[in-house]
Protein backbone atom coordinates (compact mmCIF):
# COMPACT_ATOMS: atom_id res chain seq x y z
CA UNK A 1 0.00 0.00 0.00
CA UNK A 2 2.66 2.46 1.14
CA UNK A 3 4.89 1.44 -1.75
CA UNK A 4 2.25 2.43 -4.31
CA UNK A 5 1.51 5.64 -2.47
CA UNK A 6 5.10 6.83 -2.48
CA UNK A 7 6.27 5.49 -5.83
CA UNK A 8 3.51 6.87 -8.07
CA UNK A 9 3.29 10.63 -8.12
CA UNK A 10 -0.27 11.74 -8.56
CA UNK A 11 -2.27 14.89 -8.23
CA UNK A 12 -5.10 15.27 -5.78
CA UNK A 13 -8.03 13.17 -7.08
CA UNK A 14 -10.43 15.59 -5.34
CA UNK A 15 -9.20 18.50 -7.42
CA UNK A 16 -11.45 18.87 -10.43
CA UNK A 17 -11.59 22.63 -10.89
CA UNK A 18 -10.35 24.08 -14.14
CA UNK A 19 -8.78 27.53 -14.14
CA UNK A 20 -11.48 30.21 -14.23
CA UNK A 21 -10.83 33.49 -16.04
CA UNK A 22 -10.85 36.68 -13.86
CA UNK A 23 -11.25 34.63 -10.64
CA UNK A 24 -8.60 35.97 -8.27
CA UNK A 25 -7.73 32.72 -6.42
CA UNK A 26 -6.88 31.05 -9.75
CA UNK A 27 -4.86 33.92 -11.22
CA UNK A 28 -1.17 34.72 -11.15
CA UNK A 29 0.05 38.13 -10.03
CA UNK A 30 1.06 38.90 -13.62
CA UNK A 31 -2.45 38.14 -14.84
CA UNK A 32 -3.89 40.53 -12.26
CA UNK A 33 -1.55 43.28 -13.53
CA UNK A 34 -2.73 42.66 -17.10
CA UNK A 35 -6.39 42.67 -16.04
CA UNK A 36 -6.24 45.98 -14.16
CA UNK A 37 -4.86 47.63 -17.30
CA UNK A 38 -8.08 46.61 -19.08
CA UNK A 39 -10.60 47.02 -16.26
CA UNK A 40 -10.54 48.58 -12.79
CA UNK A 41 -13.74 46.80 -11.75
CA UNK A 42 -14.08 44.19 -8.99
CA UNK A 43 -17.02 42.11 -7.79
CA UNK A 44 -16.91 40.88 -4.20
CA UNK A 45 -19.36 38.18 -3.12
CA UNK A 46 -20.17 38.53 0.60
CA UNK A 47 -20.97 35.00 1.71
CA UNK A 48 -22.63 32.85 4.34
CA UNK A 49 -22.17 29.41 5.86
CA UNK A 50 -25.56 28.43 7.21
CA UNK A 51 -28.07 25.61 7.26
CA UNK A 52 -30.14 25.19 4.11
CA UNK A 53 -32.36 22.30 5.26
CA UNK A 54 -31.16 18.79 4.38
CA UNK A 55 -31.25 19.05 0.61
CA UNK A 56 -28.84 21.98 0.10
CA UNK A 57 -25.30 22.43 1.47
CA UNK A 58 -24.22 24.75 4.30
CA UNK A 59 -22.28 26.74 1.69
CA UNK A 60 -25.25 27.36 -0.63
CA UNK A 61 -25.06 31.18 -0.46
CA UNK A 62 -21.26 31.18 -0.60
CA UNK A 63 -21.07 28.83 -3.59
CA UNK A 64 -24.04 30.23 -5.53
CA UNK A 65 -22.79 33.79 -5.02
CA UNK A 66 -19.27 32.97 -6.18
CA UNK A 67 -20.55 30.98 -9.18
CA UNK A 68 -22.80 33.85 -10.32
CA UNK A 69 -19.84 36.27 -10.04
CA UNK A 70 -17.65 33.87 -12.07
CA UNK A 71 -20.31 33.66 -14.80
CA UNK A 72 -20.47 37.48 -14.96
CA UNK A 73 -16.67 37.62 -15.20
CA UNK A 74 -16.71 35.38 -18.29
CA UNK A 75 -18.90 37.97 -20.07
CA UNK A 76 -17.06 41.13 -19.01
CA UNK A 77 -13.64 41.86 -17.50
CA UNK A 78 -14.31 42.17 -13.79
CA UNK A 79 -12.15 40.67 -11.05
CA UNK A 80 -13.95 38.18 -8.76
CA UNK A 81 -12.66 38.44 -5.18
CA UNK A 82 -14.20 36.17 -2.54
CA UNK A 83 -12.41 36.73 0.79
CA UNK A 84 -14.71 35.43 3.50
CA UNK A 85 -16.77 32.24 3.56
CA UNK A 86 -19.08 33.04 6.49
CA UNK A 87 -21.50 35.92 7.02
CA UNK A 88 -24.19 37.09 9.43
CA UNK A 89 -26.46 34.16 10.24
CA UNK A 90 -27.25 34.20 14.01
CA UNK A 91 -30.85 33.08 13.50
CA UNK A 92 -29.72 29.85 11.80
CA UNK A 93 -27.51 28.78 14.72
CA UNK A 94 -30.16 26.34 15.98
CA UNK A 95 -29.15 24.07 13.10
CA UNK A 96 -25.73 22.40 13.20
CA UNK A 97 -23.02 23.65 10.88
CA UNK A 98 -24.03 27.31 10.76
CA UNK A 99 -21.23 29.80 11.36
CA UNK A 100 -22.06 33.40 12.21
CA UNK A 101 -19.79 36.45 12.28
CA UNK A 102 -20.52 39.93 13.62
CA UNK A 103 -21.36 42.77 11.26
CA UNK A 104 -18.20 44.58 12.46
CA UNK A 105 -15.97 41.64 11.48
CA UNK A 106 -17.55 41.25 8.05
CA UNK A 107 -17.35 44.98 7.30
CA UNK A 108 -13.73 45.20 8.48
CA UNK A 109 -12.59 42.23 6.36
CA UNK A 110 -14.21 43.63 3.23
CA UNK A 111 -12.95 47.18 3.77
CA UNK A 112 -9.39 45.92 4.22
CA UNK A 113 -9.81 43.82 1.06
CA UNK A 114 -10.85 46.90 -0.88
CA UNK A 115 -7.90 48.85 0.54
CA UNK A 116 -5.57 46.12 -0.79
CA UNK A 117 -7.19 46.17 -4.22
CA UNK A 118 -6.98 49.98 -4.40
CA UNK A 119 -3.20 49.68 -4.03
CA UNK A 120 -3.13 47.42 -7.09
CA UNK A 121 -5.04 49.96 -9.19
CA UNK A 122 -8.62 48.70 -8.93
CA UNK A 123 -11.11 51.53 -8.33
CA UNK A 124 -14.68 50.37 -8.86
CA UNK A 125 -16.36 47.78 -6.65
CA UNK A 126 -19.61 45.85 -6.89
CA UNK A 127 -20.62 44.26 -3.59
CA UNK A 128 -23.00 41.30 -3.89
CA UNK A 129 -24.47 38.85 -1.42
CA UNK A 130 -26.62 35.82 -2.12
CA UNK A 131 -27.79 35.87 1.51
CA UNK A 132 -30.53 38.26 2.71
CA UNK A 133 -29.08 38.31 6.22
CA UNK A 134 -26.11 40.26 4.84
CA UNK A 135 -28.21 42.97 3.11
CA UNK A 136 -27.76 45.71 5.73
CA UNK A 137 -24.05 44.85 5.99
CA UNK A 138 -23.61 45.14 2.23
CA UNK A 139 -25.18 48.63 2.39
CA UNK A 140 -22.68 49.59 5.09
CA UNK A 141 -19.69 48.14 3.21
CA UNK A 142 -20.73 50.10 0.10
CA UNK A 143 -21.16 53.31 2.11
CA UNK A 144 -17.89 52.87 4.00
CA UNK A 145 -15.96 52.34 0.75
CA UNK A 146 -17.57 55.45 -0.74
CA UNK A 147 -17.12 57.58 2.42
CA UNK A 148 -13.61 56.54 3.47
CA UNK A 149 -11.61 55.44 0.40
CA UNK A 150 -10.84 56.65 -3.12
CA UNK A 151 -12.84 53.70 -4.47
CA UNK A 152 -16.41 53.81 -5.75
CA UNK A 153 -18.77 51.04 -4.64
CA UNK A 154 -22.20 49.92 -5.79
CA UNK A 155 -24.67 47.43 -4.33
CA UNK A 156 -25.13 44.56 -6.83
CA UNK A 157 -28.92 44.42 -6.45
CA UNK A 158 -29.30 48.17 -7.02
CA UNK A 159 -27.05 47.77 -10.07
CA UNK A 160 -29.10 45.03 -11.73
CA UNK A 161 -32.56 46.30 -10.73
CA UNK A 162 -33.19 48.54 -13.77
CA UNK A 163 -32.19 45.70 -16.12
CA UNK A 164 -34.15 42.79 -14.63
CA UNK A 165 -37.75 41.73 -14.13
CA UNK A 166 -38.46 40.60 -10.57
CA UNK A 167 -38.89 36.81 -10.35
CA UNK A 168 -42.43 35.85 -9.36
CA UNK A 169 -42.85 32.93 -6.93
CA UNK A 170 -39.15 32.75 -6.01
CA UNK A 171 -39.93 31.21 -2.60
CA UNK A 172 -37.98 31.57 0.61
CA UNK A 173 -34.83 30.22 2.24
CA UNK A 174 -33.97 26.78 0.77
CA UNK A 175 -37.28 27.05 -1.13
CA UNK A 176 -38.31 26.67 -4.77
CA UNK A 177 -36.17 29.45 -6.27
CA UNK A 178 -33.02 28.87 -4.23
CA UNK A 179 -33.17 25.11 -4.76
CA UNK A 180 -33.68 25.55 -8.52
CA UNK A 181 -30.80 28.02 -8.66
CA UNK A 182 -28.57 25.56 -6.81
CA UNK A 183 -29.58 22.76 -9.20
CA UNK A 184 -28.15 24.93 -11.99
CA UNK A 185 -25.07 26.29 -10.19
CA UNK A 186 -23.95 23.47 -7.86
CA UNK A 187 -25.84 20.38 -9.14
CA UNK A 188 -23.78 17.70 -7.42
CA UNK A 189 -24.44 19.27 -3.99
CA UNK A 190 -28.25 19.22 -4.24
CA UNK A 191 -30.12 16.17 -2.95
CA UNK A 192 -33.86 16.44 -3.59
CA UNK A 193 -34.47 13.04 -2.00
CA UNK A 194 -33.84 14.72 1.35
CA UNK A 195 -36.68 17.25 1.00
CA UNK A 196 -39.18 16.82 3.82
CA UNK A 197 -42.46 18.62 4.53
CA UNK A 198 -41.95 21.57 6.86
CA UNK A 199 -43.90 22.01 10.06
CA UNK A 200 -44.09 25.76 10.69
CA UNK A 201 -44.49 27.29 14.12
CA UNK A 202 -44.85 31.02 14.65
CA UNK A 203 -45.87 33.08 17.68
CA UNK A 204 -49.66 33.58 17.48
CA UNK A 205 -49.67 37.27 16.45
CA UNK A 206 -47.24 36.51 13.61
CA UNK A 207 -49.24 33.48 12.50
CA UNK A 208 -52.25 35.84 12.21
CA UNK A 209 -50.16 38.34 10.26
CA UNK A 210 -48.67 35.82 7.81
CA UNK A 211 -51.86 35.69 5.69
CA UNK A 212 -51.70 39.41 4.91
CA UNK A 213 -47.97 39.96 4.29
CA UNK A 214 -48.47 39.51 0.53
CA UNK A 215 -51.11 42.25 0.29
CA UNK A 216 -50.40 44.59 3.22
CA UNK A 217 -47.00 46.32 3.11
CA UNK A 218 -47.29 47.42 6.76
CA UNK A 219 -47.89 43.86 7.93
CA UNK A 220 -44.92 42.78 5.82
CA UNK A 221 -42.64 45.42 7.37
CA UNK A 222 -43.59 44.42 10.90
CA UNK A 223 -43.40 40.70 10.09
CA UNK A 224 -39.88 41.02 8.67
CA UNK A 225 -38.75 43.13 11.64
CA UNK A 226 -39.80 40.41 14.06
CA UNK A 227 -38.95 37.21 12.19
CA UNK A 228 -35.61 35.51 11.53
CA UNK A 229 -33.91 36.80 14.64
CA UNK A 230 -31.43 35.16 16.98
CA UNK A 231 -32.92 32.85 19.61
CA UNK A 232 -31.37 35.05 22.33
CA UNK A 233 -33.75 37.93 21.44
CA UNK A 234 -36.67 35.92 22.86
CA UNK A 235 -38.81 36.65 19.78
CA UNK A 236 -39.17 32.91 19.11
CA UNK A 237 -38.44 33.52 15.43
CA UNK A 238 -35.08 31.87 14.81
CA UNK A 239 -35.04 29.36 11.95
CA UNK A 240 -35.18 26.36 14.28
CA UNK A 241 -38.06 27.90 16.27
CA UNK A 242 -40.10 28.65 13.12
CA UNK A 243 -39.40 25.66 10.90
CA UNK A 244 -38.88 21.93 11.48
CA UNK A 245 -36.71 21.54 8.36
CA UNK A 246 -34.92 24.89 8.10
CA UNK A 247 -36.91 25.84 4.99
CA UNK A 248 -38.25 29.34 5.68
CA UNK A 249 -41.12 30.97 3.80
CA UNK A 250 -43.53 29.36 1.35
CA UNK A 251 -43.34 25.55 1.14
CA UNK A 252 -40.93 24.15 -1.45
CA UNK A 253 -43.00 23.31 -4.55
CA UNK A 254 -41.39 20.24 -6.08
CA UNK A 255 -43.28 20.56 -9.38
CA UNK A 256 -41.84 24.07 -9.90
CA UNK A 257 -38.34 23.21 -8.65
CA UNK A 258 -36.10 22.43 -11.61
CA UNK A 259 -32.82 23.30 -13.27
CA UNK A 260 -34.54 25.28 -16.04
CA UNK A 261 -36.13 27.68 -13.55
CA UNK A 262 -32.75 27.97 -11.82
CA UNK A 263 -31.00 28.71 -15.10
CA UNK A 264 -33.51 31.44 -15.94
CA UNK A 265 -32.93 33.17 -12.57
CA UNK A 266 -29.15 33.03 -12.92
CA UNK A 267 -28.88 34.01 -16.58
CA UNK A 268 -31.24 36.97 -16.09
CA UNK A 269 -28.90 38.26 -13.35
CA UNK A 270 -25.76 37.69 -15.41
CA UNK A 271 -27.27 39.52 -18.39
CA UNK A 272 -28.51 42.41 -16.22
CA UNK A 273 -25.06 42.76 -14.66
CA UNK A 274 -23.31 42.86 -18.05
CA UNK A 275 -25.74 45.63 -19.09
CA UNK A 276 -24.95 47.53 -15.90
CA UNK A 277 -21.18 47.15 -16.45
CA UNK A 278 -21.46 48.43 -20.03
CA UNK A 279 -23.49 51.41 -18.85
CA UNK A 280 -21.10 52.19 -15.97
CA UNK A 281 -18.17 52.08 -18.40
CA UNK A 282 -19.99 54.42 -20.81
CA UNK A 283 -21.00 56.89 -18.11
CA UNK A 284 -17.46 57.34 -16.79
CA UNK A 285 -15.81 57.46 -20.21
CA UNK A 286 -14.13 60.76 -20.92
ZN1 LIG B 1 -29.47 30.79 0.98
CA 97 to ligand 1 centroid distance, Å: 14
Residue range of the domain that includes 272: 21-164+266-279
CA 172 to ligand 1 centroid distance, Å: 9
Residue 279 · residue 41 · CB < 8 Å = no
pLDDT, position 115: 98
Question: In 3-state terms, what secondary structure has residue 54?
Answer: strand
Rg of the chain over all Cα atoms, to the nearest angstrom: 21
Q: How many structural domains comprise the chain? A: 1
pLDDT, position 151: 98
Give the whole-angstrom CA distance, residue 35 versus residue 241.
48
CA 11 to ligand 1 centroid distance, Å: 33
Give the whole-angstrom CA distance, residue 96 versus residue 239.
12
pLDDT, position 62: 98
CA atoms within 13 A on the CB side of 61: 29
pLDDT, position 7: 61
CA 173 to ligand 1 centroid distance, Å: 6
CA 58 to ligand 1 centroid distance, Å: 9
CA 140 to ligand 1 centroid distance, Å: 20
- Does residue 150 form part of some domain? yes
CA 63 to ligand 1 centroid distance, Å: 10
CA 129 to ligand 1 centroid distance, Å: 10
- Does residue 236 form part of some domain? no
pTM of the predicted structure, to 2 decimals:
0.94
Which residues line ion ligand 1, judged by CB < 5 Å?
60-61
Neighbour-count burial for 34-63, b at 16+ CB within 10 Å, e otherwise: ebbeebbbbbbbbbbbbbbbebbbbbbbbb
CA 38 to ligand 1 centroid distance, Å: 33
Q: What is the 3-state secondary structure (H, E, C) of 57-106?
A: CCCHHHHHHHHHHHHHHHHCCCEECCCCCCECCHHHCCCCCCEECCHHHH
CA 59 to ligand 1 centroid distance, Å: 8
pLDDT, position 5: 53
- Does residue 87 form part of some domain? yes
Residue 262 · residue 185 · CB < 8 Å = yes
- Does residue 246 form part of some domain? no
Identify each DSSP E strand in the chain by its residue range: 41-46, 79-80, 124-129, 152-155
Give the whole-angstrom CA distance, residue 246 versus residue 225.
19
Give the whole-angstrom CA distance, residue 56 versus residue 257.
13
- Does residue 125 form part of some domain? yes
Phi and psi at residue 96, to the nearest 5°: -60, 145
CA 51 to ligand 1 centroid distance, Å: 8
- Does residue 230 form part of some domain? no
CA 100 to ligand 1 centroid distance, Å: 14
Q: Distance from CA of residue 132 to its chain's centroid?
A: 8
- Does residue 62 form part of some domain? yes
CA 134 to ligand 1 centroid distance, Å: 11
> Sheet holding 79-80: strands in order across?
79-80, 41-46, 124-129, 152-155
CA 221 to ligand 1 centroid distance, Å: 21
CA 136 to ligand 1 centroid distance, Å: 16
CA 61 to ligand 1 centroid distance, Å: 5
The sign of the torsion formed by the CA atoms of 212, 217, 223, 229 equals: positive
pLDDT, position 167: 81
Say which CATH number the domain at 69 has. 3.40.50.10310
- Does residue 186 form part of some domain? no
pLDDT, position 140: 98
Give the whole-angstrom CA distance, residue 235 versus residue 225.
10
Mean pLDDT by runs of 10 across the 286 residues of the chain is 60 86 98 98 98 98 98 98 98 98 98 98 97 96 98 98 88 95 97 95 92 90 95 97 94 95 97 98 90
Amino acid sequence: MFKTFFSVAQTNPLWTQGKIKNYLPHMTSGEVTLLVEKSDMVIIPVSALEQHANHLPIGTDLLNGVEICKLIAQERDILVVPVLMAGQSPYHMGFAGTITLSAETIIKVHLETVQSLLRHGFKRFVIMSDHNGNDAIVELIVDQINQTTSGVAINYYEAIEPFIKPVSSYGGHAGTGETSKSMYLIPNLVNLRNVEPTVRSLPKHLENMVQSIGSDPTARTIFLAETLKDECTGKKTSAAEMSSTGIIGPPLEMEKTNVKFGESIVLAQVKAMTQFIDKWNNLVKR
